[in-house]
Chains A and B, each alone.
Chain A
Amino acid sequence: MQISIENLSHAYGSVPVLSDINLTFEQGEIAVIIGPSGCGKSTLLRLMGGLEEPNSGAAYIAGEVPTRCLNPLTYIFQEFALLPWRSVAGNISLVLEDHRLSKSDANAIIGDVLARTNLSEFRDALPRQLSGGMKQRVAIARALAVRPAFLLMDEPLSALDSQTRELLMDDLVDLWARERFSACYVTHNLAEAVRLGHKVIVLSRRPGQVRDVIDINMPLEERRNRSSELEGVQQQLWQMMREEALAADRELADG
């Protein structure tokens, strides 16, 4: 399965946020979208998953959706979006309840995703008892439970402190190594982009346009130990981002 975005433009009222975006997202690949704040990268992700409607152009799904898939396009949010009144297992069960699975099937899925994200012992904990990193792991487990074809990740590590962010990046790399999931990953953090991205899409400041697409060919699993070799890519990305970020920073909010 593939996602393609064709001639997509979007505006909030009279403020254009995205203009003429054309992109393809391949299966089994993590595509990272970076750009200065307010460039419309989160909007692009919401348009891709059908949470908002574009003014013109569209996002398309090409190819067969895997049959086991319960929710092909599945989000992971920056603020975790866990229901505080449900336990860890309850939060995962929430997204299975509308799919008419038998109780034992649902329990099997919940047990499986908790095991895959090393959360089994937290099954009955409430969100308020968990640290930020654990909350995001629960959100990842919840996303895996619906067997997504594509993960749409909206700055998933931005609400976490830098140490937790490192740990979760390792987790995501491990997970990708095992499952080869497909993802579109939005961030403003260049270190995340070069650690997790098979390709990095750079958006310009508002109205967002595709400025460049950079492929990084080093395998994800090796990147932690070969980070010095990635330094060059990160510098290149920063050069591109710098002027955009500088200009975006000086814009008036409602200009």
Chain B
Amino acid sequence: MADQAPTKRTSPEARKKVPFRGGGFKPRPIRFVAPLVFLGLVLFWEFGSRNGIISNLVLPAPSEALSALIDLYQSGLLWAHVSASLHRLVLGWSVGTALGIVVGVLIGLSSLARSSLLPLTAAFFPIPKIALLPLFVIWFGIGEGSKVATILFGTFFPTVIATYGGVDNIERGLIRMGQSFGLSWFSILRKIILPGALPAILSGARISASIAIILLVAAEMIGAEYGIGAYVLTAGSLFATDQLIVGVAMLSILGLCVSWLIGKAEKVLLNWRG
């Protein structure tokens, strides 16, 4: 074949471009699409409510929810609800996460802890913490204690699982390197194991923060005067659907803020991943 030079020009019919069949399967974020979709949805909703397509009984219009929010703000109770909830969330989530990291690292490093605590974690993780709320009320009192405890237990288990998974996945070679240079046990823990498990811990934090917000409403079911959850529950039992929407929107915004904060933390703490 190679010696058949010069090549004969083939007719145009016989010449065909190689069809492109690669690409795709790699979505990239497009800016402004998310807010536009959101805005479109709210506009459709408002339009539907005003034209009677969506009955007011089924779903109040966004404008009604907005005026309910303004009422809430003017009554001065908005901040009382938000601050009470934030207080419980931050306390329950941070203590639960801290304990979860400690236990997760123990399970990741010690055979005894792994054999004893891992089955316990597997047994307790699937229990809905809401079901335990009456017990928590008896154990920790009807005040803040039971509410913080519900969130704490809810965030503890997912953090344990994320952390020990992260510790398990650290390259053995890095630990062996630490040992070969005579690093102390504590140095290996602090400088190799914890930073190595940090990506897993942070993605665990994303999950546990969402669980904490879900449990917030449950925790505020019993004996809470203030709190977003309490506000939503009161609105629900009075069928004040406009207030219900306001409360749900606040929870959703809270979730967005938390996710944004964790995203920031990932950017700063995990910049080495590039």
Give CA–CA (A70, B182) in the complex, Å. Answer: 9
Give the Cβ gap from A89 to chain B, nearest Cβ, in Å: 14
Contact A146 B181 (CB under 8 A): yes
By a CB distance below 8 angstroms, the chain A residues around B178 are 94
Question: Does A243 count as interface, using CB distance less than 8 angstroms?
Answer: no
Contacting residue for A81 out of B176, B182, B195, B196, CB 8 A = B176
Contact B173 A81 (CB under 8 A): yes
Q: Chain A residue with minimal CB distance to B191? A: A94
Partner of B177, one of A75, A98, A127: A75
Closest 4 A/B residue pairs (Cβ): A81-B177, A85-B272, A95-B181, A75-B180
Pairwise interchain contact B176-A98, C-beta atoms closer than 8 A: no
The reply to whether A95 and B183 form a contact with Cβ atoms under 8 Å apart is: yes
CA–CA, A95 and B188, complex, Å = 11
B interface, by DSSP: helix, strand, loop or mixed? helix
Question: Are A51 and B176 touching (Cβ within 8 A)?
Answer: yes
CB of A83 closer than 8 Å to a CB of B? yes
Secondary structure call for the A interface: loop
- Supply 26 A–B pairs (Cβ within 8 Å), ascending by A: A51-B176, A71-B182, A73-B180, A74-B181, A75-B177, A77-B177, A79-B173, A81-B171, A81-B174, A83-B174, A83-B195, A84-B272, A84-B273, A85-B196, A85-B270, A85-B272, A94-B178, A95-B181, A98-B183, A98-B187, A126-B272, A126-B274, A128-B272, A128-B273, A128-B274, A129-B274
| Interface residues contributed by chain A, number (CB under 8 Å) | 23
Interface membership of A49, Cβ < 8 A? yes
In this complex, what residue of A is CB-closest to B272? A85
Q: Mark A26-63, 1 if CB is under 8 A from B, else 0.
A: 00000000000000000000000101000000000000
Interface presence of A105 (CB below 8 A): no
- Does B184 count as interface, using CB distance less than 8 angstroms? yes
Which of B174, B180, B274 has a CB less than 8 Å from the CB of A51? B180
> What is the minimal beta-carbon distance from B31 to any residue of chain A, in angstroms?
27
Contacts of A231 on B, CB cut-off 8 Å?
A: none
> What interface size band does chain B fall in?
20 to 34
Q: Mark B260-274, 1 if CB is under 8 A from A, else 0.
A: 000000000010111
B56 at the binding interface (Cβ < 8 Å)? no
> Does B192 sit within 8 A of A, measured CB to CB?
yes
Q: Does A97 contact B (CB under 8 A)?
A: yes
Name B residues whose Cβ lies closer than 8 Å to a Cβ of A.
171, 173-174, 176-184, 187, 191-192, 195-196, 270, 272-274
Contacts of B270 in A (CB 8 A): 85
Docked-complex contact A74 and B180, CB < 8 angstroms: yes
Q: Which of B180, B182, B184 has the most CB of A within 10 A?
A: B180
Q: Which chain A residues lie closer than 8 Å to B187 at the CB level? A: 97-98
Min C-beta distance of B197 to chain A, whole Å: 11
Q: Which residue of A lies closest to B180 (CB)?
A: A75
Name, among A71, A74, A84, the residue most crowded by chain B CB atoms within 10 Å (CB to CB).
A84
* C-alpha gap A74/B183 in the complex (Å): 12
**A218-B175 Cα distance, complex, nearest whole Å:** 38
A74 to B184, CA, bound (A): 16
User: Apart from A74-B181, A81-B177, what are 9 other A-B pairs with CB-CB below 8 Å?
Assistant: A71-B180, A81-B174, A84-B272, A84-B273, A85-B196, A86-B272, A94-B183, A94-B191, A98-B187
Task: For the complex formed, measure the closest distance between the CB of A204 and the CB atoms of chain B, giving whole angstroms.
Answer: 26
| Residue pair A71, B181 in contact (C-beta under 8 Å) | yes
Q: Residues of A contacting B195 with CB < 8 Å?
A: 83, 85
Q: How far is the CB of A71 from chain B (nearest CB, A)?
A: 5
